[in-house]
Chain A
Amino acid sequence: MTTITRKPVNPTAHLTEADIEQIGIELDAIRQDVIDSRGEKDAAYIRRIVDVQRRLELGSRAVLLGSALPPLWVLGTIGLSVAKILENMEIGHNVMHGQWDWMRDPKIHSTTWEWDNASTADGWKHSHNQVHHTYTNIVGKDNDLGYGIMRVDEDQRWVPFYLAQPMWNFINACFFEYGIAAYDLELGKNLKVPKNKRSPEFKANLSKTLKKIRKQATKDYVVHPLVALPFGGAVGALAGNFVANVVRNVWSHSVIMCGHFPEGVETFEKKSIPDDETRGQWYVRQMLGSANISGGKVTHLMTGNLSHQIEHHLFPDLPSNRYAEVAPKVQALFEKYDLNYHQAPLPQQVYSAWHKVVRLSLPNDWLATTTPKNLPGQLKTLWAMSTKGPKVRRAAQARLTQLARRQQAERSEAAAAAA
């Protein structure tokens, strides 16, 4: 991935200013259609999902009481995992976006909702709604890109630290809720500040988050196992809760990676975004900075309709159950303006995102230039780049870039000869 402005061919180069403003007008019209028609059915939808989720969670926890029996453990753990996923994805994420605020129901409202996650609703709303959705895919401003610990772009200088990033990413996936809590707090940045100089705001948020984590952990790892104790299911309940949390974490991490990280999704340079970015320009950035997951109804539900990531980023406050009907209209607009509507099934998107994580963990062009034949030599180069100083790294990087260019030239020559 390279920020859009540094690419040899900018995928928006063919759009005139008038085109971009027209895209804005057409998308506003699509949005308005949904607003004009949302009503009782939509309200019934979210209330039903909330009802089903809560009953499923209660039921699964009841089943886990008997988790001394292995089939019950499996059943309860699956149920609890699904319940936690629904709660975070289709309900929590979307309610906190204000998608259901129009119902004026204080029980299902972005200002009152708290979710089953280590991060606090307030912290998440700030970092997600405000920062990520406003500065989507702007390198350096959007923390969702690599969460500040990963190399997400060729333009970021490679250092040996990044070799471990597939492992970081995997650990982050398993404990994603804590990862989210940490980056909502901008923990890395704030912990570097000496203790007595940390802002009161950070301290207050930190204590709120720690309190939330304590309550969450008490629920899952103390209260429910204790309740299961008389039934001989304490260990089973503890394990069931742990597994359900990890499943939810890995699942939501995967879905979110698919939203912005697969190969081909554009990123943007901070300085290329005008201060007075118009609504049309903002829309186009959202169109190119997101990727969809194709699939059936279950996929859409379990991803919290983030399978319609493009539609979600264009209209973050429309009810999630309406993205599916909006998607064909949006796709038609992409085609009309000759833009790439990025869409693929879940396994393909997950693979693509992980491929990028691995590729960028290595020096630029290393993975692309490596063949089984030159592997020993390439490994030697990598070893040198990882263990020796920046001078060696620079020189080796130059050789890799040159090699990549030569291979590229050879390929096009071969193609020309074949033609």
Chain B
Amino acid sequence: MEDMTTLPLPASRQRGAGRLLRQRARSLAQAAVTPLDLDDLLDHFHPLRRGAELSGRVVEVRPETAASATLVIKPGRDWTGHVPGQYVRVGVDVDGVRLWRTYSLTHGPRPDGCISITVKAIDGGVVSGHLVRRTRPGTMLRLAQAAGDFVLPDPLPGKLLLVTAGSGITPVIGMLRNLFSRAEVPASDIVLIHSALSQAEVIFADEIRSYAARGLLRLVELHTDTHGLLDVDSLDELVPDLTDRPTYACGPAGLLDALEAHHEARGLVLHTERFRPVVLAAPGEGGTVTFASGTTIRADGATPILDAAEDAGVLMPSGCRMGICMGCVLPMKEGAVRDLRNGALTVAVPGETDPAGVPIQTCVSAPAGACSVDH
């Protein structure tokens, strides 16, 4: 045993001891800050540290067009990286309320470790308008890890067609930046067809035109105000060797639907990225509530979900039954409910709102259309 003191510990053992020490220190610190989580406290000092819930700090807001801007974001240390073309879910506090949206990442991995999203302010868009017009450097955003399979294959095919419309350029610009920033630009023959409402509405206009000028790609720029909407039947004209090119497309649902039909009829390869539109059943008076257990109940627009569910034999958490005690709050995954006290709507959209669900008070909420509750 005395050898132990003279012999150096094996490296693995040292690492093990280090880890044990760190664990001990952490549990001591945890005991010192209970009932808080140590991380809650550390968030006040270093929200981007390793081990923190993923978030990012806006370091730059760069206007692209009158209605769009690029946000450069320094992500937390636990950001695991992304492949160009993927998207990220972003939680933004708008008027004090945390709202989640999904945006394409518009850069490849950058040397400064930052990520970027480019947002177009859509009419009536609460979050997009806030991000484009009212977000300043220093703002903290919640992030989820990058996701999505709209990515270029590796190795790159010899020929490629990219079709984008409007803000559909955002995942594709990430792909292009990544390709063209390499020391050795891959020898691929790329055609980019981009359709925007007008000349002034083209996001990244200078950048894609300069790629074309440098001979990195062939650009077909269409403006709806002069050329009309992109017609898929004109593709053969625009791209004579269409059949040789796998197609990557991103844009409004109408365009993607037409492309899918067109390519399927011709047996051509197509990859698409759909920006999920916010599809809401028109909030009606009453509707159905589906529980995670599989039970579905129906309630009219004047009956609280809690009452209807209990009448149907669902075991519900409940409390004061008048909207005070929060004892009945359950997460709604999808759908809309109406607050019986003031008629206000609360909406949950998968992929848009909190993935864990939007908390609703079942005792004062009636369904407004079909909704599902995690309970």
Interface positions of A (Cβ within 8 A of B): 28, 32, 35, 38-44, 51, 54-55, 58, 96-98, 101-107, 109-111, 114-116, 125-126, 129-130, 133-134, 212, 215-216, 218-219, 223-224, 227, 279, 282, 316-317
Contacts and interface: CB of A to CB of B under 8 A. Distances in A.
13 contacts: A32-B342, A43-B97, A58-B41, A98-B325, A103-B97, A103-B98, A114-B36, A115-B35, A125-B325, A125-B327, A134-B320, A134-B322, A215-B34
A54 B329 CA distance: 28
Interface string B345-375: 0000000001010110000000000000000
B319 A129 contact: yes
A381 to B, nearest CB: 45
Interface in B310-357: 319-320, 322-327, 329, 341-342, 344, 354, 356
Nearest to A102: B97
A237 B327 CA distance: 38
Contacts of B280: none
Nearest to B339: A35
Contacts of A109: 359
Contacts of A103: 93, 96-98
Contacts of B320: 129-130, 133-134
Given A40-B95, A43-B93, A116 B35 contact: yes
A24 B100 CA distance: 36
Given A111-B359, A212-B35, A125 B326 contact: yes
Which size bracket describes the interface of B in this complex? 20 to 34
A51 B44 contact: yes
B96 A316 contact: no
A160 to B, nearest CB: 38
B327 A39 contact: no
Given A129-B325, A130-B320, A39 B96 contact: yes
Contacts of B99: 104
Contacts of A224: 32
A110 B328 CA distance: 11
B95 A39 contact: yes
A227 B325 contact: no
B326 A97 contact: yes
A219 B33 contact: yes
Nearest to A227: B32
B325 A130 contact: yes
B44 A54 contact: yes
Interface in B63-107: 93, 95-99
B96 A223 contact: no
Given A126-B327, A129-B326, A130-B327, A101 B40 contact: no
Nearest to B358: A104
A40 B44 contact: no
Contacts of A102: 96-97
Contacts of B28: 223
B21 interface: no
Contacts of A227: 32
A377 B40 CA distance: 63
A225 to B, nearest CB: 11
A101 B323 CA distance: 12
Contacts of A130: 319-320, 325, 327
B143 to A, nearest CB: 14
B40 A133 contact: no
B253 interface: no
Contacts of B325: 98, 125-126, 129-130, 133-134
Contacts of B323: 317
Interface string B30-48: 0111111000110110000
A216 B98 contact: no
A101 B359 contact: yes
Contact of B96 (A28, A43, A116, A129): A43
B40 A223 contact: no
